[in-house]
Amino acid sequence: LASRDFHPENTVISINGVNIGGGELVIMGGPCAVESATQIDEIAALVKAAGAQVLRGGAFKPRTGPYSFQGTGVEGLIMMAEAGKKHDLLTITEVMTPEYVDICAEYADILQVGTRNMQNFDLLRKLGTCGKPVLLKRGFSSTYDEFLNAAEYILAGGNPNVMLCERGIRTFETYTRNTLDLSAIPVLQQLSHLPVISDPSHGTGRRELVVPMTKASVAAGADGLIIEMHTDPDNSMTGDGVQSLFPDQFADLLKDLELLAPAV
């Protein structure tokens, strides 16, 4: 079902007038984690003002260590849904377990599967029947074939609205947090009809690299971007402040993309 051989036309995912995969560049921006109602409201206003269409924010956080901040949970989901409604933005949030799919689907417009859960097959099966579009992140050590097979689980369950997200893979290089595999963008678009989204924030782990790698992703043909932005990145509750853009950088980047888009 994911293969272009059996489905030559691009899949376009339409949510409240936003078309993902239809040729318009879709931008998802926001903090790594929903921290408080004020934080997500302030950031949503900035995301909207910059011209993005989707507010990102994790309520359930997949942390490497069990003693790190684990997210604001259902309260965070509610805070983000309110901010999205108030600022007229779609919302995307990560779901980590099958039990939480229904509640996440109730509050968010798009459900995200994190890199660590790409092969959580029970979760993928449950997402096949959740009724909401899914952004599936590539496992940080997964091949394209494994990635497309993971998408296949969701499609096979009856959900045709799946986006593929390249978020960086593990290589021998340690200067960057991950290595953003830009080739994934055209390769996945050749192999599949599903929209391809790039995540230069997790893909590099370094704020100063997010702007150039966003532009490179657009040049490579990405259908959209998911970018971390925070009003106070030095005090963010996850370690991802170091890769979060400041609001001004985010707004300037989106202005640059408007100039870039017609040229590529």
Closer CB to Mn ion, residue 32 or residue 227? 32
Which span sits near ligand PEP by CB under 6 A: 112-120, 123-131, 141-149, 153-161?
112-120
List the one residue out of 15, 13, 32, 38 whose CA is nearest residue 23: 13
Binding footprint of ligand PEP, residue count (CB under 6 A): 9
Q: Does 230 bind ligand PEP (CB under 6 A)?
A: no
Which span sits near ligand PEP by CB under 6 A: 83-91, 110-118, 122-130, 242-250?
110-118
SS3 227: strand
Q: Does 58 bind ligand PEP (CB under 6 A)?
A: yes
Q: Does 62 bind ligand PEP (CB under 6 A)?
A: yes
Binding-site partner at residue 137 among Mn ion, ligand PEP, none, CB < 5 to 8 Å by type: ligand PEP
Place of tokens 């097979």: 149
- What is the spatial distance between Cα 257 and Cα 33, in angstroms, rounded to a whole number? 25
Among positions 25, 32, 154, 196, the unique one binding Mn ion when judged by CB under 5 A: 32
Burial of 179 by CB count in 10 Å (0-12 exposed, 13-18 middle, 19+ buried)? middle
Burial of 258 by CB count in 10 Å (0-12 exposed, 13-18 middle, 19+ buried)? exposed
In the complex, minimum distance from the CB of residue 132 to ligand PEP, in angstroms, rounded to a whole number? 17
Closer CB to Mn ion, residue 32 or residue 151? 32
**How is residue 68 written in tokens?**
């790190």
Q: Which residue has the CB atom at the shortest distance from ligand PEP? A: 114
SS3 114: coil
In the complex, minimum distance from the CB of residue 58 to Mn ion, in angstroms, rounded to a whole number? 7
Q: Does 199 bind Mn ion (CB under 5 A)?
A: no
Distances (CA, A) of 50 to 44, 86, 148, 257, 259: 10, 16, 33, 11, 14
Q: Which residue has the CB atom at the shortest distance from Mn ion? A: 32
- What is the spatial distance between Cα 196 and Cα 89, in angstroms, rounded to a whole number? 20
Binding-site partner at residue 115 among Mn ion, ligand PEP, none, CB < 5 to 8 Å by type: ligand PEP
Binding-site partner at residue 223 among Mn ion, ligand PEP, none, CB < 5 to 8 Å by type: none
- What is the spatial distance between Cα 242 and Cα 158, in angstroms, rounded to a whole number? 38
Residues paired with 111 in a beta bridge: 93, 134
List residues binding Mn ion (CB under 5 A): 32, 240
* Interaction site with ligand PEP (CB under 6 A): 32, 58, 62, 114-116, 137, 167, 202
